[in-house]
């Protein structure tokens, strides 16, 4: 398993950089992960989504898809793409320190 270092701590990630163990994540890590994903500054809206992702993961064992995020987070899909241009579900999951959303088969 590859690892990465954020906020001076080593964490386990998969090939694509998604956390394998969400418990290793701390809030201080988020801005650093965000920069690696091309987001220089985390706004309040970003944080709202990051917290939402972690809560959903804790409850359901997988992060939500973009469509579910658009229906449940209170932020529209259009705005979600403005916040996370490279794909809201994946980028937000990465910054929130949860595994890659399982998506659908």
Partner 1 sequence: MTKRIVILGGGTGGTLSANRLRRVLSTDEAEVTVVDQDNEHVYQPGLLFVPFGLAHLEDIVRLRQRQLHQGITYVCSAVDHVDLDAAEVHLENSSTLTYDVLVIATGAILVPEETEGLTGPGWMEKVFTFYSPEGAAVLEAALATFDGGRIVVNVVDMPIKCPVAPLEFCFLADWYFTERGIRDRVQLTYVTPLDGAFTKPVASKRLGGMLAEKGIELVTEFNTGSVDGAAGTLTSYDGRVVAFDLAVVVPLHSGAAYVGRSPGLGDELNFVPTDEHTLQSKVRPNVFVIGDAANVPTSKAGSVTHFEGEALVENIGRYLAGEALDASFDGHTNCFIESGFGKALLIDFNYDTEPLPGRYPSGVGLPLLKESHLNHLGKLMFQWLYWHSLLPGRDIPGVSSQMPIHGKKQELSRS
Please compute Rg for the chain using Cα positions: 13
Q: Is 83 left (phi over 0), alpha (psi -120 to 50) or beta?
A: alpha
> Taking CB under 8 A as the rule, does residue 29 contact partner 1?
no
Q: Which stretch binds partner 1 (CB under 8 A): 27-35, 46-54, 78-86, 92-100?
A: 78-86
Return the DSSP state at 19: B
Out of 2, 17, 38, 85, which residue is the one contacting partner 1 (CB under 8 A)? Answer: 85
Please report whether residue 75 would count as binding partner 1 according to CB under 8 A. Answer: no
Q: Can 104 be counted among the known catalytic residues? A: yes
> Is residue 45 part of the contact set for partner 1 (CB under 8 A)?
no
Token pair, residue 35, equals 């920069």
Q: Which of 49, 65, 75, 95 binds partner 1 (CB under 8 A)?
A: 65
Going from the C-alpha of 45 to that of each of 11, 41, 65, 82, 92, the distances in angstroms are 26, 11, 18, 11, 11
78 binds partner 1 (CB under 8 A): yes
Tell me the two tokens of residue 11: 């964490």
Contacting positions for partner 1 (CB under 8 A): 64-68, 71-72, 77-78, 80-81, 85-87, 102-105
Please identify every residue annotated as catalytic.
104
């Amino acid at each position: 398993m590859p690892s990465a270092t954020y906020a001076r701590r080593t964490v386990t990630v998969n090939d694509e950089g998604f956390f394998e163990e969400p418990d290793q994540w701390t809030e201080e890590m988020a801005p650093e992960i965000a920069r690696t994903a091309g987001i220089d500054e985390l706004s309040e809206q970003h944080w709202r989504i990051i917290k939402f992702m972690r809560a959903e993961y804790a409850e359901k064992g997988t992060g939500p898809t973009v469509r579910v995020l658009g229906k449940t987070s209170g932020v529209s899909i259009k705005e979600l793409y403005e916040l996370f241009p490279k794909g809201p579900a994946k980028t937000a999951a990465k910054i929130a320190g949860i595994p890659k959303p399982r998506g659908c088969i």
